[in-house]
Amino acid sequence: MTWLVTGGAGYIGSHVLIAFAQADTPTVVLDDLSSGFRHYVPDDVPFVEGSITDADAVAHVLDEYGVTGVVHLAGVKYAGQSVGQPLHFYRQNVTGMQVLLEAVLARQIRSFVLSSSASYYGTPDLEIVDEQEPPRPQSPYGESKVISEWLLRDCAVVDPQLRHTSLRYFNVVGSGPEFRADHSPYNLFPMVFRALAAGETPRINGGDYATPDGTCVRDYIHVVDLAQAHVTAARNLESGGVCAPAYNVGRGEGSSVREVMDTIARVTGIDFTPTVQPRRPGDPARIVGSVAAIRRDLDWQASHDLDDMVSSAWAAWQHYLAEAEAEAEAEAG
């Protein structure tokens, strides 16, 4: 059994590869390196550079490596950015999903795990949202995830033997011991770390939300826990176990952006008071997910708390800075 991990050179994808390796399950990666890093893919994992929207590249990797299951993470993210670039997000996330599913159906591949998002829900009226809540996306990014789930559902009607699930991620942070850092220009942790490294004051996007301290509330999930959820889902699909069409993947509890900032200051030992700037378009005020379903069906639950997330992410960031400094010195010398 070989699993294709699209987007496997990225921050989340590389942690998924590590989790599969720990489960003694072979993988192959398809990634265009638009946001990923070639060195994030272990040397013993086959790597194919190519876009998920390229039908020839998709066909090649599926055929060359005898793929029997797919974890689909490739695509573009960031709700705020998608508001100004809707066509780009639809091409990468929706057209890419279509191209991949056409190839999967043609080869009768029977297991498919989709990287979805809590953006599916928009800003729900509930304190805790479960998988039965209808989609109310507030950005083209969120809409692209809803459409991708629908495509997968509809293809399973065409081929009932296609077993699948969509993992609706909440806010993914932290790093494994392999120091795969999150380099996103828009995610909270790397934005704060970049500011601190530059001697600047971190900023909060929006301080006037209808939340206890005025800042956005999110359900943060450690990337190692998330990666393990993929492997657990994949094994369940392969074994014919119970698997719902979608699962929330989070901790089931919320932390505000200001609370995260306070934790970063305490864990890193760097004292700072963040400044507040206007909201970003497309950002919901609060979203926290129920994880009762994934705990019930897959016996999965998160094991890392916010301190673990911050300390591991900070260690990975320091490792990245040390490597960058060593490379700069080598080039200069």
What beta strand segments (E) does 170-292 contain?
171-173, 203-205, 217-218, 220-222, 246-249, 255-256, 275-277, 286-287
- In the three-class reduction of DSSP (H, G, I as helix; E, B as strand; rest coil), residue 87 is classed as helix
Q: Both tokens of residue 136? A: 């109310």
Inter-CA distances, 92 with 3, 86, 98, 295, Å: 21, 10, 10, 31
Residue 40 identity (one-letter amino acid)? Y
From the list 154, 139, 64, the residue with the least C-alpha distance to 105 is 154
Instruction: With beta carbons less than 8 A apart as the criterion, state whether 2 and 214 touch.
Output: no
Give the DSSP letter of residue 289: B
Distance CA 110, CA 48 (A): 22
Rounded-to-integer distance, Cα 48 and Cα 13, Å: 14
Any idea which residues carry the catalytic annotation?
141
CB 8 within 8 A of CB 73: yes
CB–CB of 31/49 below 8 Å? yes
- Tokens representing 162 are 């296609």
DSSP secondary structure letter of residue 160: T
Q: Which residues contact 260 (CB under 8 A, 6 or more apart)?
A: 188, 189, 220, 306, 310
Distance CA 255, CA 6 (A): 30
Spatial CA neighbour of 169 closest among 282, 79, 231, 250: 250
3-class SS of residue 69: strand
**Is 216:285 a contact under the CB 8 Å cutoff?**
yes
